[in-house]
């Protein structure tokens, strides 16, 4: 039990983690706010066109059954 991490150490690590996370989020949001969107080209272009689509639903084909017989002969090794 002497090798366990003390509660003070855990608290300090948690506080440092929260501070670093908040600072990182602020840096990212400031960077996004400073971006100039007008200088970028649009990623997607749109166009308009017309066309005609026809859809034909065919009836389900009739199922047929067949009867047959198969014979199987096992020959001894020669």
pLDDT digits (tens, 9 = 90+) for 18-77: 999 999 999 998 887 777 666 666 667 777 888 888 989 888 888 888 888 888 888 888
In whole angstroms, give the CA distance from residue 57 to residue 66. Answer: 27
3-state SS track over 3-50: CCCCHHHHHHHHHHHHHHHHHHHHHHHHHHHCCCHHHCCCCCCCCCCC
pLDDT by residue (tens digit) across 2-31?
Answer: 578 889 999 999 999 999 999 999 999 888
């Amino acid at each position: 039990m002497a090798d366990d991490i003390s509660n003070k150490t855990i608290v300090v690590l948690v506080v440092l983690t929260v501070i670093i996370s908040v600072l990182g989020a602020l840096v990212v949001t400031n960077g996004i706010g400073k971006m100039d969107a007008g200088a970028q080209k649009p990623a997607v272009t749109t166009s308009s066109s017309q066309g005609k689509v026809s859809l034909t639903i065919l009836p389900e084909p009739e199922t047929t059954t067949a009867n047959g017989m198969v014979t199987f002969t096992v020959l001894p090794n020669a």
